[in-house]
Amino acid sequence: MLRTTAPAINKTLIIKSSLLFPCLIFSFFISQAQVHHNVISHQKTVFQTSSPWIPEIDVRSDAAIIYGSGDRPGMTFKQRIHSWKLHGYQTDFMTGIAWGNYQDYFYGKWDGKMHLDEVQVAINDDSVWHGHHTPYIVPIPSYIHYMEQAVTKKVIDEGITTLFFEEPEFWARSGYSDAFKKAWKQYYGFNWRPQDKSAENTYLSNKLKYHLYYNAIKQVSSFAKAYGKSKGLEVRIFIATHSLVNYSSWEIVSPEASLASLPGIDGYIAQVWTGTSRTPVYFNGIEKERTFENAFLEYGSMVSMTAPTGRTMYFLTDPIEDARRDWGDYKRNYEATYTAEILYPSVDHFEVMPWPERIFTKPYRLPDSDSSVLIPHDYSTQILVMVNALNKIPASKNQISGTKGIGVLMGNSLMFQRFPTHNGYTDPQFSNFYGQTLPLLMRGVPVQTVQMENLAYSATLKGIKVLVMSYSNMKPMSVKVHQYLSDWVKNGGTLIYCGRDDDPYQSVMEWWNTKGNHFKAPSDQLFKLLNIHPGLKDYHIQKFSAGKGTVYVMRQDPKEFVMKKDGDTSYVNVVKRAFQHDAKAGKIIWKNNFILHRGPYDIIAVMNEGVSDQPVIVKGPVIDLFDPSLPVLKVKAVTPGHEAFLYDLHRVQNKNKPQVLAAASRIYEEKITGKSYSFVCKSPLNTVNSMRILLPRAPESIEITNDVGKSIPIIKKSWDESSHTCYLSFANSPEGITAKIKW
């Protein structure tokens, strides 16, 4: 997972553990036959770790993603894998594709050649590094061959069949190395051009970076599939990547949506977390952090990237982040990103956290204090309640509240014109994107993003009534994009085009001005297909008919809608008119919140810059899952600027069946008789369990014992007659705590 402290300057992966693992703990690796027989064969939830199993980080997800294929002093890669298998885990694998602990390659041990000349290089020969002895790489053929033979082959030989290649990233500021110059000549057929000299050079440079990692992923995934097949194994390949929203904002180039159509790619992990989502953005003339709103757009862009292709999507969020902040800050932002991810009801696969070793074994500051402590029990309990809910939360056909059918077009070329600045044209904080989305999101419209590269799939525009687009910050990479859009409009769609079309990238060497085309801007070709002729200098809103559809043209760049106070008024009015009168899609609803009912869960977010300051009132009984004490509430008020995750006791399935409704542990070996209920619960060492259990009547006795049958103290217990639920709290253990309840 990408780790950064200064998005535009540097990234540092923080995965080193201070924990010591004596060689003696591996004496139990006698044979693979000893592996726990309950290894889970599916994986709804996963986490990634560079550590071998230790009891403090056993969070009981379905699979542990083992990070990195390297051996350690006194600890082999194989031993790390088996330490997790022995505790019942399916084991997957993850490694960086653009960087990693590949010193044997960089320094010549692997093939006898030094490869440091393949490092990504920015202007003034400034090499781009991920960490100590860990450069970002230009993926030339020898590096791809290394990834196939030294990494992928080794992992598959250990029997791992699910591989995650992380962060195929090329920094926008780089592109000056000899390796890149050679790749330029091979790709374009003419000599390299420095990207700082013109907008066209920048565009061509970033387009090549995009192609290089697309090709690298294509080759490595094809090799992995073929090699696995030769050993009788079905290998699955996933890409762990930031959202297109974040990469564009942070000035990084990656293949993103194009990978979803590769036959060798089975899906993605959407790497969204506090560090990406708290990136400040403009709205109503104010630049500040808007973590929930940004996370919602990030996750949404990942859904739009993959949903039409049928690929599997894992959503990730992180209970902490890279920057060293305090536990209170981590908690607030974790609730915001977690809420955003579960508001997408079609996604039910999750990476519940990266690096549990740094969450549960590293000290951070307390709020308003210089003192650093290990994670407070209240917060670790809350985290474990939330991640165990992800083990159970279902996909749902229910929809998030709000007006549906409004989309914003986005494409991979959003990454192509972010750095450097040319001709004085700027897009502060990626505001041309947020100018199209935030004015709607802040008014309670769950605006969708529509991936340009997926327009060939019929499902991409299904349900879209009004589509907003702009070429102020992206360009169409294929003429087919316009044909799909034109056909959609002529068949009854409503299109809103926003843009002055005066940025320096309008005239870069591309299909609209080469091979017989002579359009000054790509939108001119689209307008020609639609048989409309909007004026470039007419800043009034223009409306045209095109077949059965409608086109609005607003000659403003979308950044103007959010960088000025009340700058979005005319834009919002056009969207409202287009939706209600032209698309005839019903009345558009403005509100300050989002609500989703998903199985027994209520997910709620109330925005503090919305159209009102009214709270959302939920009538109970509900269990508050963001409160580690799991209270049963008759009423829950969610105020602006806050989120809620609730268990609605009206929607319990099998209400007559004793069951654990919520817990800071995973539940196993449930047994029910006429007058008793027992189960085993497992969770990390040094954490406190909190659980609410549905029972037919108040318990007469409760017995809590550890894995050797010894009684352990109950920290707290209570009975709520109104909900027929028992509350219990006691110390967790990864070896299993048995609860026996009689009534």
Read off the pLDDT of residues 200-219 as tens digits, 9 standing for 90 and up: 999 999 999 999 999 999 99
Residue where a domain stops, chosen among 536, 558, 582 = 582
CA 630 vs CA 46, 577, 728, 733: distances in Å: 24, 45, 10, 20
Strand (E) or helix (H) holding 468 = strand 466-469
Q: 416 and 337, same structural domain?
A: no
Q: 454 and 434, same structural domain?
A: yes
Q: Is the pLDDT of residue 137 over 70?
A: yes
Write down the pLDDT at residue 538.
65
pLDDT bin (cut points 50, 70, 90) of residue 536 is confident
Strand (E) or helix (H) holding 10 = strand 10-11
Strand partners, 49: 66
Q: 194 and 232, same structural domain?
A: yes
Residue where a domain stops, chosen among 582, 617, 643 = 582
* Whole-number Å distance between alpha carbons of 304 and 452: 10
- CA 335 to mean position of chain CA atoms: 15
Q: Is the pLDDT of residue 743 over 50?
A: yes
Domain count, the chain: 4
Smallest CA-to-CA distance from 166 within 316, 268, 49, 15 is with 268
Q: 704 and 606, same structural domain?
A: no
Phi-psi category of 721—alpha, beta or left, where left has phi over 0 and alpha has psi -120 to 50? alpha
For 110-138, what is the mean pLDDT?
95
Condensed to tens digits (0 to 9), the pLDDT of residues 584-631 reads 999 999 999 999 999 999 999 999 998 999 999 999 999 999 999 999
Write down the pLDDT at residue 39.
39
Q: Is the pLDDT of residue 13 over 50?
A: no
Q: How many CB atoms lie within 10 A of CB 489?
A: 24
Condensed to tens digits (0 to 9), the pLDDT of residues 40-72 reads 448 999 999 999 999 999 999 999 999 999 998
Q: What's the DSSP call for residue 51? A: S
Q: How many CB atoms lie within 10 A of CB 23?
A: 10
* Whole-number Å distance between alpha carbons of 428 and 281: 9
How many alpha carbons lie under 13 Å from residue 427 in its C-beta half-sphere? 30
CATH code of 435's domain: 3.40.50.880
Q: 686 and 632, same structural domain?
A: no
Contact 210, 416 (CB under 8 A): yes
Write down the pLDDT at residue 37.
33
Q: 440 and 324, same structural domain?
A: no
Q: What is the pTM of this model?
A: 0.94
Q: Is the pLDDT of residue 454 over 80?
A: yes
* Burial annotation 571-608 (CB, 10 A radius, 16+ → b, else e): bbebbbbbbbebbebeebebbbbbbbbbbbbbbbbbbe
Residue where a domain stops, chosen among 553, 582, 611 = 582
Write down the pLDDT at residue 42.
80
Write down the pLDDT at residue 574.
98
- The residue behind tokens 């505790």 is 87
- Mean pLDDT for the chain? 93
Strand partners, 690: 729
Among 16-25, 337-346, 633-642, the minimum mean pLDDT is found in 16-25
Residue % of the chain over a pLDDT of 70: 94
Write down the pLDDT at residue 107.
95
Write down the pLDDT at residue 18.
32
Q: 104 and 207, same structural domain?
A: yes
489: Cβ–Cβ under 8 A, 6 or more apart, which residues? 495, 530, 546, 547, 549, 550, 551
399 is a domain residue: no
Q: Could you tell me whether strands 372-373 and 364-365 are parallel, antiparallel, or unpaired per DSSP bridges?
A: antiparallel
Condensed to tens digits (0 to 9), the pLDDT of residues 90-121 reads 999 999 999 999 999 999 999 999 999 999 99
Q: 705 and 644, same structural domain?
A: no
Write down the pLDDT at residue 406.
98
- The residue behind tokens 């992800």 is 390
Write down the pLDDT at residue 26.
34
Note down the domain range covering 598.
Answer: 593-651
Q: How many CB atoms lie within 10 A of CB 705?
A: 15
Torsion angle (degrees, nearest 10) of CA 509, 511, 513, 518: 180
Condensed to tens digits (0 to 9), the pLDDT of residues 494-514 reads 999 999 999 999 999 999 999
Q: 576 and 538, same structural domain?
A: yes
Q: 449 and 368, same structural domain?
A: no
Q: 267 and 153, same structural domain?
A: yes
